[in-house]
Structure formats: C-alpha cells, structure tokens
Copies of this chain bind each other. A is one copy, B any other.
Amino acid sequence: MRNAAQGPISRYFPIVTWSKDYSRETLTSDLVAAVIVTIMLIPQSLAYALLAGLPAEMGLYASILPLVAYAIFGTSRVLAVGPVAVVSLMTAAAIGQLGLETPAEYALAAGTLAFLSGGMLTLMGVLRLGFLANFLSHPVIAGFITASGILIALSQLKHILGVPAHGHTLPALLSSLVSHVTEISFATLIIGAFSLAFLFWVRKGLKPLLSRLGFGSRMADLLAKAGPVAAVAVTTLVTWGLALDTRGVSIVGAVPQGLPPFTAPSFDAALWRDLALAALLISIIGFVESVSVAQTLAAKRRQRIDPDQELIGLGTSNIAAAVSGGYPVTGGFARSVVNFDAGAETPAAGLFTAVGILLAALLLTPLLYFLPKAVLAATIIVAVLSLVDFSILKRAWGYSKVDFAAVTVTILLTLGFGVEVGVASGLLLSIGLHLYKTSRPHVAEVGLVPGTQHFRNILRHDVETHDHLVTLRVDESLYFANARFLEDYVSTRVVCDEPLSDVVLMFSAVNEVDLSALESLEALNLKLKDMGIRLHLSEVKGPVMDRLKRSGFLAHLSGEVYLSQYDAWDALKR
C-alpha cells in the first residue's frame, strides 16, 4: 500500500528515502556499528572463502562492493550482506563438480556463479517474483540448514586435523577423513583444538565473566563477538614465533594487498548451463535466509521491508561481487543481529563497514600471512554448529506427519547427496505433499444438531438425518487436483440401498471452484440426474457464486442453491 504512493525512484533506490533525514546522531550510531561488524567480518570473510574452496582474499573482496550495492538498493536498515556459510558451501559444491584444474578457473567460476545468481535475483525482483521463495517450506529450510551445518562442520575438520579431504556429502567426507587418519598433523590439531575450545568458551562463558567484571550487558555481548579476532591474533603470533608453518601447520600465506580487482564474469554458454541450476538454488536459499533475517529485525523497530526490492538489493550485491573479485553473497544472520544490536540505524552502517574491510584489504593482509587455516576452520565450526538444530524433527513429528516427512527427507538427501539435491528435493517434496493433501480433501457427511441450526459431522456428533437427504461438507477449495475426487466420492456415496433423492454440497469452506472443478460438478449433476437424484448447493461464497452464475451452471443444476445449510434442510426435509 505504501509503495503505491512512492515514486519509482524511491521504490528502486531506497537510499533516496533514508539519506534525506540523515543526522549527526545517526552517523555516530552507524559508525560504531560499522566498527564492530568490521572486526567480526574480517576473520569470517577469510574463513568462508576457504570453505568455498577459494583464496582468502576473495572473502574480503566479497565484503566490500556488495555492501555498497545493498546500501543503495536494499530495503532493510540493518541487514549485513557478505559471504555466509551455507552459500559458501553451495558455491564449493557447484564449482567442485565442474572438474576445474587451476585456482584461476575456480575463481572465474565463482565470480560467474555470483553474476548468474545476481542476474536471476535482480530479474525476479523486477518481475516481482519474490513470492516464489515462499515455496520453500519452513521445515524444508530448517532441515536443509541443519544438514548443511553438519556438512560444513565436517568439511572443516580436515583443517583442524591437518589432512586432505574431499567431497560434498556425508559419506564422501567421512570416508575421505577416515582414509587420511594416519596423516594427522599434531601441531595443527593442537592449534585447532585450542581455537575450538576457546571460541566455544567465548560464546558461552565470556559474556557472564565480563558481566561479573562490571561490564554492561550490551558491552559484554559485543566484546564477546570480538573473540574470534583475539584467537586470530594470538594464534598468528604463536605460529610466527614458533615457526609452526615449518612443522606441518597449514597457513593462509600471502594474501594480495590492495584494492579489489575488477573482474569480468565468464560468458561461456557451456559454463552458464553447468552453473544455472546451482545459481538458481543459491539465489533461492540466499534470498530466503536473508529476507527472514531482515523481516525479523525490521519488525522489532516497526519498519518493513519489501521482498521484491530485497531481490533487487541482493541481486545487485551479487553482481557487484562478480565484478570485484568476490563470490556469491547474501544477508547473514549473525552479523545482521550484531549490526542491529550495535545500534546501526541506516544502510550507511553497511557503507562504513565496506570502508573498514577495504582498509583491511589495503593494510592488514600482510599480517595474515601466518594465520593458521585451522583457526579459520574453528571459527566456521563454532558458527555453523549453532545452526544445527534437530528439534525441528520432534516439533514436526508432533504437529504433522507430512511436515515430518519433508524435514526428514530433506536432511537425509542433503547429507547423502549434497546441498543441491537436498534443497531441490525438499522443494519438490513440499509442493508434492501439499498437492497430495489438497487432492484428497476432508469431506464430512453432516446432520442437524437437534435444537440448533448447526450442522456437524455425523460420525462425531449425535445429529438428525433423513434417509432421502445426504449433506456433504467439503473442507477444501475445489480445483483440478481434487475435482475428480469429489465426483468419485459422491458417486460412491449415492450407490446405496436407501431411497436417496437429494444431495446437498455445503460449500462453506470452498474458497474457489476452478474450471476443472466446475466441469466435474456439471458431470456430477448429470450423473445424479440420471439416477433421479437432485444436486443442491448451500453456503456458497460470493466470489464463487459470481463465477457459477456467469458459467451457466446454475441453469442446469437439478436442485437449488440455498443461502444457508439450515435453509436447505428446511426446504428438503419431509
């Protein structure tokens, strides 16, 4: 509603709206938030680039220009975009299956993937197709995120153990790790285990400690978020001081120092074809993850976000990543919450974060030379294990077996066959199960509750009925998938020994009758007429009635249409 009143400029460039009222107070808030997010983002960006199988600097590059694009086109005030765990894993899986050989080919494919995904997202936004993301049901997303978290944590174990390992599925990762178990590097393992223990403690124990030391709750929270930076600094110093890189500890090594490079995506049709499905799935998953974070945070301040414009914001961010040496990005959960908690008020905080990461790329990269990869792996493991949450299984089991089936299958297929098969199957399964449910709607035979005008299920209640009159309440909209079901249901019901003369269909819960269902109703009307039975309708909704009138169905209907079921009962009882 609000959008209709906006001009196209403020619709497509939300920056125009918020920059008008930009004040000195807002600037301070945004700057503080940006500093905190920058500190958090530096190790994360490096780590996720390694997860994606790319050089560490691509993680930094993916955290600069994309943030600028989102600040211009995005509608969330606090969403922080950049590389995230699940999308990095999906990138690794997509590119890993191409059979590429050189790191340059990997980087080019990653940039192209970002470009394709960005193009798809932008196009979907312009076409206002944001609703498509809704077809991923919550159980499927929850199952997918949980399974991805497990795959990510397992894939990082190789860095902690200091062994090579490959694969994007649970069986492949496990067998690969087991086959290299004799090659474990103990220096690496010690650093990795220390980092893991420290980071878990930071997460659980540091905040209470800081609170006891007299820090305010918010300050304690924010300091705890800087824990990974401490781990990075200490382990880098130790590795340098003890020359651990000569004792089998794998380090990040030389990271180029300077501005993000300008990079052109590949326009090779064969590569596009190979990456198209992965780009689509990354777009959908990235969008769903991002938009749910953005909506949750916007609601807390009574702001709102526009899903279609969000597609454009994320799409342009990915295109920006593609042309500046990055790889697919989206809005991250943890960093957006930090940004929000740190007091960010406008997307300018994102711009300032971009400047912070840019400075890091210009100045800090030489300091990262001795950073052990095991530490980055530990930050990833700690971050993703918080995503692993099997409680959805219990919840779905208690609520609905159909939802339970969707979660279970998504988890198993993601673990067993990788992220693409997992999310695609989850999507198809959600739709399939929904269609299956609605294709066999609940139909209740109802009778009059004595002394009232209410009609209830004859199987559950003690109600009045007549032998010559059957009333069926249809608890679903009628459309092609269940049209024949109803026809068959009624046909079966009327083949009986009673002297049946009237069938009433009670339409109180029928929100739609499509053309297929209309034709089924017509067929049913004729069938019943051939048997000497009249067909009636009751409690037909306005929009449905309008269509039935227009179609001429009512002219051929052997019975009547009654406003209420009680009217029908009253007119037809003997």
Contact = CB atoms under 8 A, between A and B. Distances in A.
A428 to B, nearest CB: 11
The interface residues of chain A, by DSSP majority, are classed as helix
Given A304-B495, A492-B2, A514 B480 contact: no
Interface string A434-459: 11111111100000000000000000
B481 A134 contact: yes
A547 interface: yes
Nearest to A440: B131
A1 B523 contact: no
Interface in A519-547: 519-520, 523, 526-527, 530-531, 541, 543, 547
A9 interface: no
A137 interface: yes
A29 interface: no
A436 B130 CA distance: 11
Given A398-B550, A480-B136, A480-B138, A475 B514 contact: no
A238 to B, nearest CB: 45
A299 interface: yes
A508 interface: yes
A257 interface: no
Interface residues of A, number: 71
A67 interface: no
A573 interface: no
B515 A135 contact: no
Contact of A531 (B139, B302, B512): B302
Interface stretch (A217-225, A355-363, A483-491): A483-491
Can you list the 6 inter-chain pairs with the closest CB atoms, starting with the nearest? Answer: A137-B480, A138-B516, A299-B527, A403-B515, A137-B516, A475-B511
28 contacts: A2-B495, A134-B439, A135-B435, A135-B439, A135-B480, A135-B481, A136-B480, A137-B481, A139-B515, A295-B487, A295-B488, A299-B491, A300-B530, A302-B531, A304-B491, A395-B515, A399-B515, A399-B547, A399-B551, A400-B547, A403-B514, A403-B516, A434-B514, A437-B512, A442-B511, A475-B511, A476-B477, A509-B511
Given A138-B515, A395-B515, A442-B511, 10 more contacts: A131-B485, A134-B484, A137-B514, A137-B516, A138-B480, A300-B527, A400-B515, A400-B547, A438-B477, A508-B508
